Amino acid sequence: MTVDTEVLNPHRYIVIEGPIGVGKTSLVRKLGDRLGSELLLEKAEENPFISQFYQNPRQFALSTQLHFLLQRSQQVQNFRQIDLFKSSYIADFMMEKDRLFAEITLNANELNLYQQIYQHMTVDAPRPDLVIYLQAPPEVLRARIAKRGITYEQQIRGDYLSRLCDSYTRFFYDYDESPLLTVNTQSVDLIDNVDEFQDLLDKIINIRSGRHYFNRSSFDL
């Protein structure tokens, strides 16, 4: 099916966020295909410290976080050069997430150092036309992480996932920089269920402002 992106997708820049294992990248790829959008993907597998971090969080937290900071800052700088009027883009990360992770992995002295570097390095990314926040409880995330079988992720601890989910919840509770769509991914299958994906797509293209919610019982909200 040919998609008329000028009519179907009013958003030039969409960001999909949420904790590890919630399905960000899979949804980014599927939406990008349907909307004819370019993809901006996080590259966690390119972080040389990530595997060591999950084995020994205390020892490798700072090096892991600083590498992500450098990587995402460069991605944001590159993205700022893009002409958003020539195409649309969907990303599976937002710059703000970097501090969110840092706050739950670093000790006080490390966090102070990280924040100083963050302030000197970060470049403001273009504001998204829409942010989609995917959420699921830790036990669901653990099951999905186990299913997708990425070796280093199998070391992720349950308490870390719980803290991460709580941190995302607090962050988006007050978020008002862009229109926000919160999706309960525990109750819907957005990748393999054609009808539920279409319901989400219809919801996305009709959002212009405000806060919105999507789950099995709220397709009409």
Task: Assess if residue 163 is contained within a domain.
Answer: yes
Is the per-residue pLDDT at 221 higher than 70? Answer: no
Identify whether 75 is part of a domain: yes
Amino acid at 78: N
Task: With beta carbons less than 8 A apart as the criterion, state whether 1 and 27 touch.
Answer: no
220 located within any domain: no
pLDDT of residue 34: 93
In order, the DSSP letters of the chain are ----HHHH---SEEEEE-STTS-HHHHHHHHHHHHT-EEE---GGG-TTHHHHHH-HHHHHHHHHHHHHHHHHHHHHHHHTS-TTT--EEES--TTHHHHHHHHHS-HHHHHHHHHHHHHH--PPPPPSEEEEEE--HHHHHHHHHHHT-GGGGG--HHHHHHHHHHHHHHHHS--SS-EEEEETTS--TTT-HHHHHHHHHHHHH--SSEEEESTT-TT-
Instruction: Tell me the C-alpha to C-alpha distance, in Å, between residue 112 and each of 76, 98, 102, 118.
Output: 22, 14, 10, 10
pLDDT score for 81: 80
Residues 17 and 133 sit within 8 Å (Cβ to Cβ): yes
**Per-residue model confidence (pLDDT) at position 121:** 79
User: Predicted confidence band at 156 (pLDDT cuts at 50, 70, 90)?
Assistant: very high
pLDDT > 80? residue 51 = yes
217 pLDDT tier (thresholds 50, 70, 90): low
The more confident residue out of 122 and 167 is 167
Mean pLDDT across 42-49: 92
Tell me whether residue 221 is in a domain: no
In a domain, residue 18? The reply is yes
Domain that holds residue 12: 5-214
Count of structural domains within the chain: 1
CB atoms under 10 Å from CB of 159, counted, come to 9
Bridge pairing between strands 38-40 and 130-135: unpaired
* Residue 64 pLDDT greater than 90, yes or no: yes
Mean pLDDT, rounded, for 79-99: 84
Look at residue 185 and tell me if it is in a domain.
yes
Asked if the model's pLDDT at residue 130 lies above 60, the reply is yes
Tens-place pLDDT, residues 193-214: 999 999 999 999 999 999 999 9
The predicted model scores a pTM of 0.90
| Inside any domain, residue 219 | no
Residue 30, domain CATH = 3.40.50.300
Q: Could you identify the residue written with the tokens 């070796």?
A: 151
Q: Is residue 67 part of a domain?
A: yes
pLDDT digits (tens, 9 = 90+) for 1-12: 444 444 478 899
